[in-house]
Structure 1
Amino acid sequence: MRRLTLLVFLFPFFVFSQLSIVDSAQSLIDKKQYKQAEQLLKTELSKDQENLELIEKLGDVYGHQKKWDDAIVYYEKLKVARPGVANYHYKYGGALGMKALGVSKFKALMYIGDIKKSFIKAIELEPDHIDAHWALIEYYVQIPGIVGGSKRKAIECANHLQKISAVDGFLAKGYIYEYKDDPELAEVNYKMAIKVGGSLNCFQKLTDLYENKTKEPEKAIANIEAAQKKHERNALHYQIGKVCADYNIQLDKGIYCLKEYIDNYTVADGVPVEWAYLRLAQIYRLKENKVKATEWVNKALAKKASFKQAKEEKALIQTL
């Protein structure tokens, strides 16, 4: 009885200790201190080599470092130890896929079968595993048809995904059609994703289509403005200014938006403020206002003296 009491007392301590190690490792990962996280986890695993949480986290650390061979080793240990866990098969297949991208096409063929099997197994074990559905769609889209790639199968997978998550289904179809050079159907599906979900990611996919695929900057700006109206994010001011500068359109709107970005800037906005200075310099150069253009490019260089793009812009301004 006394021994049982002692075990009951000590059990929460052991659980807390294990969770603390995993949490500490995740904290290091969040700070991109991957080497420190790796060392911490390897030290703990040397004491408890069968601890699946530590094994999974170490696999994740190797993935962050793009050490795919090491990640594959640890994820394979997981799926062998617990073959009924969908996420282990998904992570193993994902690591194999990333490994395949970094080798020759001939060597990549060695991994294709196991990649597909892993994603299918994950979905069989957990039909609602959205990431596994996305991974299988990516597989069918990017793999050449001669070795199993298929637009038809990708669309079938997207239809299954849509039953689980309507917005993911539309985003997946948009991605498939965009990749397969059918921008009109891609646009339709991205618009449906915005209607159903309306997240910033949905708006961004449509903006990227307009900017990178169909080269329709006016539509891109209108879409970003719709996103701004819904989400009120300062970063979207920069995005509008960037499109205006890149395509030499709606320059006054670009100036207004970039100044709004600068006035409300915080590190959380993502794009460093010197990039907004640079975009303003670009716009004023396009307006042939050498004084203003020089003023803003100098601000960019004062903020970051090694700013290569700002140096290039200054050279262009000096030709006015």
Structure 2
Amino acid sequence: MRKLILLLLLPVFSLAQSIYSEAEGLIEQKNFVEAEQKLVVFVSENPSDLKAIELLGDAYGHRKKWEEAGEQYKTLTEAKPNSANYHYKYGGALGMKALSVNKITALGIIGDVKSAFLKSAELDPNHIDTRWALVELYMQLPGIIGGSKAKSLKYAEELFNISKVDGYLAKGYIHEYDNEPELAEKFYKLAIKEGGSLNCFDKLTKLYEKEGKANEAITTIEASNVKHNRNAMHYQIGKVCAEYNVQLEKGERCLKQYISHYSAKDGVPKSWAYYRLAQIYKHKANKTEALLWIDKAIADLPKIEAFKDEKKAINNL
């Protein structure tokens, strides 16, 4: 009898596994519309399949359909109320919905967002993403509706107890948000020392850029490149040099290296490197070279207004 039941159920399991794999593949390929379409049909026929419901919520989320994503995740929290991850996803969808509606409507959502994240944190004392969400939520909310730097720091400390790197980054974020750049710098440096991921270096680099500390930003990018050796770092250095009119020879050299070693995985199109080279030559008052590079940028991406504006500035030299 048991074998007979298993044989009867096997096609159902196979179909479910097939739709999971197909949907996950489509989402990974960023084909969110097709993933949504296939999952909507499957979930309508299998309304208690939690994995499919979660994937449908994910597909909606990728398409910024927060209302629909929230409905799927709410279904999951009701089906499995002790799942920290379901509450986290539900809170995240509600939070993004709150950002997309008017302030009055958002006020009515914030309480549910907070409750979902707090429930997730309660259910899983090691859930890193939930604690990051709470750090950001309490920093960004006005005090009158529950915002609190002290509470944000509390969850940053919880993060530190789970992962020192995340704890340092969270504290850096809090102090940067609170306009305390020296403290933010301290914690981002500690994160680099502890973990040294690209994200750690990037946080410190962006802080320096925001504070107008171009040379410090370049030094940080170079240190990151020593550790990670990525061609994309050359563009970052060139960008800072071009934007802040510093270390122009280094910026020129790095941008040309970025272009010569470029591949699609580097992320930033070569046309933006051409644009940054044009800026560097403009700073050098070399109008001929500046025009050569900005024309290459425009030829690649003719609709970018920043390129057209740069050409006007170069022509005015």
Same fold (TM over 0.5): yes
How far apart are the structure 2 equivalents of 1:225 and 1:12? 55
Residue 175 of structure 2 is aligned with which of 174, 177, 188? 177
1:118 matched residue in structure 2: 116
1:269 aligns with 2:262: no
Q: Is the 8 A contact 1:71 1:95 kept in 2?
A: yes
TM-score (norm 2): 0.97
How far apart are the structure 2 equivalents of 1:37 and 1:16? 18
- AA paired with 2:156? A
2:162 matched residue in structure 1: 164
Q: Is the 8 A contact 1:242 1:254 kept in 2?
A: yes
The residue correspondences of 1:111-260 to structure 2 (distance < 5 A) are 111-212=109-210, 214-260=211-257
- Kindly state the Cα deviation for residue 16 of structure 1 after the two structures are TM-superposed: 3.3
- AA paired with 1:183? P
Residue 30 of structure 1 is aligned with which of 28, 42, 47? 28
Residue 81 of structure 1 is aligned with which of 79, 91, 97? 79
Q: Is the 8 A contact 1:162 1:169 kept in 2?
A: yes
How far apart are the structure 1 equivalents of 2:266 and 2:17? 32
- AA paired with 1:40? K
1:93 matched residue in structure 2: 91
Q: Is the 8 A contact 1:284 1:292 kept in 2?
A: yes
How far apart are the structure 2 equivalents of 1:108 and 1:46? 30
1:284 aligns with 2:284: no
- Kindly state the Cα deviation for residue 10 of structure 1 after the two structures are TM-superposed: 5.1
Deviates more, 1:24-33 or 1:278-287: 24-33
- Kindly state the Cα deviation for residue 32 of structure 1 after the two structures are TM-superposed: 2.4
> Gaps spanning 5+ residues in structure 1: where?
none
TM-score (norm 1): 0.96
- Kindly state the Cα deviation for residue 11 of structure 1 after the two structures are TM-superposed: 4.5
How far apart are the structure 2 equivalents of 1:182 and 1:273? 36
Q: Name the SS for the 1:18 alignment partner.
A: helix
- AA paired with 2:49? N
Q: Is the 8 A contact 1:97 1:115 kept in 2?
A: yes
4+ residue stretches of structure 1 with deviation over 6 A?
none
- List per-residue Cα deviations over 1:254-302 (Å, max 9, x = no partner): 0000011001000000000011011111101110111111111122122
RMSD (Å), alpha carbons:
1.3
2:55 matched residue in structure 1: 57
Q: Is the 8 A contact 1:300 1:307 kept in 2?
A: no
Q: Is the 8 A contact 1:79 1:85 kept in 2?
A: yes
Q: Name the SS for the 1:127 alignment partner.
A: coil
How far apart are the structure 2 equivalents of 1:295 and 1:103? 45
- Kindly state the Cα deviation for residue 63 of structure 1 after the two structures are TM-superposed: 1.0
2:309 matched residue in structure 1: 312
How far apart are the structure 1 equivalents of 2:24 and 2:190? 36
- Kindly state the Cα deviation for residue 318 of structure 1 after the two structures are TM-superposed: 1.4
Q: Name the SS for the 1:91 alignment partner.
A: helix
- List per-residue Cα deviations over 1:51-94 (Å, max 9, x = no partner): 11111111111111111111111111000010011111001111
